[in-house]
Amino acid sequence: MKLKMFQIDAFANHVFEGNPAAVCPLDTWLDDGLLQAIAEENNLSETAFFVPSGDTFALRWFTPAEEVDLCGHATLAAAHVLFTHLSYTKQDVVFHTRSGQLTVMRNENGYCMDFPATPLAATDTPSALIEGLGKVPKDVLAGFDYIAVFNSEEEILSLKPDFEKLKELALRGVVVTAPGQEVDFVSRCFFPKLRVNEDPVTGSAHCELAPYWASRLGRNKLNARQLSKRSGRVECNVKDGRVFLVGNAVDFMSAEINIP
């Protein structure tokens, strides 16, 4: 059996920027163990698989370690593959996922993704978080990740996490954030439990970050930058319990997988 696969740089305007994701279009679902093996072989933060479902698509995401409930950049990559390579002609595409219905629309700036906003709650600060980051945050909140808030972009850039210590935490990962110098807010995202020590650009984290910063700054439209080595910029708009994330995507590679 041969499967088509695309590797897409999401939240990027040029290759070697943003966050790379693999995308495998399927006619029907394969065994979950095989999907996980493909994701482990790719060794990217996410591999996305989708199958047609009427006029929509069922979409799933796998890290090298496990399937996840929500992934922004691989959703963006999957939409890009449909629009660019698979002759999808509608203006928007609907995906059915573990996180409900997600819609991706083409616009003049690339793609706009309609995602659920994730509310944050106050939480005790685990000692493993402070030890793992090596610094005490100004505040710590919890969504599906720990959100550690710092005072400055410089503090975010200076962090040298202990990923083994961060693996001890209960939630998916740790997202650190602060006001930006040239954008409204900056972040870095650490997911060592998923075998993704630092994710380059994380759409799902902005479902947590954008509502927090919209409330703190008093406006719904925000520009953000994730300060990973590859870096990437995300436009955010918070409205009616949803977060609209705008970014572009570019092709890096197309390939064929050989399955015995």
> Which pLDDT score, from 0 to 100, does residue 256 have?
96
Catalytic one among 17, 46, 208, 235? 46
Residue 61 CA to residue 69 CA, distance in Å, equals 8
Joined together, the tokens standing for residue 27 give: 């006619």
Contact 12, 1 (CB under 8 A): no
Helix (H, G, I), strand (E, B) or coil at 253: strand
Taking the CB of residue 255, how many other CB atoms lie within 10 A of it? Answer: 13
CATH architecture of 121-240: Roll (3.10)
Q: Would you state the pLDDT for residue 107?
A: 86
Q: How do the domains of the chain map onto residue ranges?
A: 2-116+246-258, 121-240
User: Which residues, 6 or more positions from 154, have their beta carbon under 8 angstroms from its beta carbon?
Assistant: none
CATH number of the 2-116+246-258 domain: 3.10.310.10
Contact 257, 37 (CB under 8 A): no
Cβ-contact 207, 114 below 8 angstroms: no
Coil, helix or strand for 62? strand
Hey, which bits of 11-118 come out as E strands?
A: 19-25, 47-53, 56-62, 67-68, 92-97, 100-107, 110-116
**Topology match between the domains 2-116+246-258 and 121-240:** yes
Q: Active-site residue 168, yes or no? A: no
Rg (C-alpha) for the chain, rounded Å, is 18
- CA atoms of 254 and 200, how far apart (whole Å): 21
How far, in whole angstroms, is CA 236 from its chain's centroid?
Answer: 13
* Residues contacting 111, CB < 8 A, separation 6+: 76, 79, 80, 104, 105, 246, 247, 248, 249
pLDDT string in tens for the chain (260-residue length): 999 999 999 999 999 999 999 999 999 999 999 999 999 999 999 999 999 999 999 999 999 999 999 999 999 999 999 999 999 999 999 999 999 999 999 988 799 999 999 999 999 999 999 999 999 999 999 999 999 999 999 999 999 999 999 999 999 999 999 999 999 999 999 999 999 999 999 999 999 999 999 999 999 999 999 999 988 889 999 999 999 999 999 999 999 999 98
pTM attached to this predicted model = 0.89
For residue 41, the model assigns a pLDDT of: 96
Write down the pLDDT at residue 36.
98
